[in-house]
Amino acid sequence: MAGKAKKAAAGSKPAVLENDCIFCKIIKGEIPCSKVLEDNEFLAFMDIRPIIKGHALVIPKSHCTNILDFPKAEETDLVEFIKKVAKAVVKATDADGFNLGMNNGEAAGQVVMHAHFHIIPRFKDDGLVSWPHKEYAPGEIEGMRNKIKSFL
Ligand code: 5GP
Ligand code: ZN
């Protein structure tokens, strides 16, 4: 539609400057955190307001906003790092499972604009409700699939 403002993608939100970034301050030790694990690339620490107790966050030490500008060189190591922390969270809390989550963009619930992964221990009776599912109208799923494919 002519004149219609283009929607900002999750990765195109104006970047938060590192100096103003709360997680960069945690990395630099300017704000305290309950550190779980760190190496040269990543830091894991306890979420201060857990969804479930044991909730931990994993962040890259180099500032980036979300998964879309995540440094390519660190992608492989990231998975290993997350697995290590997640196993420890599950063992420590005696959880039945865990959610690995990431909010990308304000509309998706991202509040801190430094990429971070949530590791949330889950229990069979923890009462957390899953996201509700919707239904497609006949043929709608293929239309959506085709539209997504056209951007690949
Ligand atoms: P988001 O909603 O951006 O995906 O998640 C941000 C998370 O960071 C929230 O779960 C919030 O509780 C956590 N958080 C925000 N500020 C701090 C802080 O200063 N220290 C710690 N440890 N966690 C924080
Ligand atoms: Zn940052």
Calculate how far, in angstroms, residue 12's C-alpha sits from the geometric centre of ligand 2.
Answer: 16
With a 6 A CB cut-off, is 48 part of the ligand 1 pocket? yes
Ligand 1 mutation target, pool 26, 37, 45, 47, most atoms within 8 A of CB: 47
With a 6 A CB cut-off, is 65 part of the ligand 1 pocket? no
Residue 35 sits at φ, ψ, to 5 deg, of -70, 140
Taking the C-alpha atoms of residue 52 and residue 121, their distance in angstroms, rounded to an integer, is 7
- Judge whether 35 and 67 are in contact, CB under 8 Å: no
CATH numbers and ranges of domains, the chain: 10-124 (3.30.428.10)
Specify the pTM: 0.90
Model confidence over 30-43: pLDDT tens digits? 999 999 999 999 99
By annotation, the residues acting in catalysis are 116
CB neighbourhood size of 33 (10 A): 18
Model confidence over 59-99: pLDDT tens digits? 999 999 999 999 998 999 999 999 999 999 999 999 999 99
Calculate how far, in angstroms, residue 41's C-alpha sits from the geometric centre of ligand 2.
Answer: 13
Q: Is residue 53 packed enough to be buried (19+ CB in 10 Å), middle (13-18) or exposed (0-12)?
A: exposed
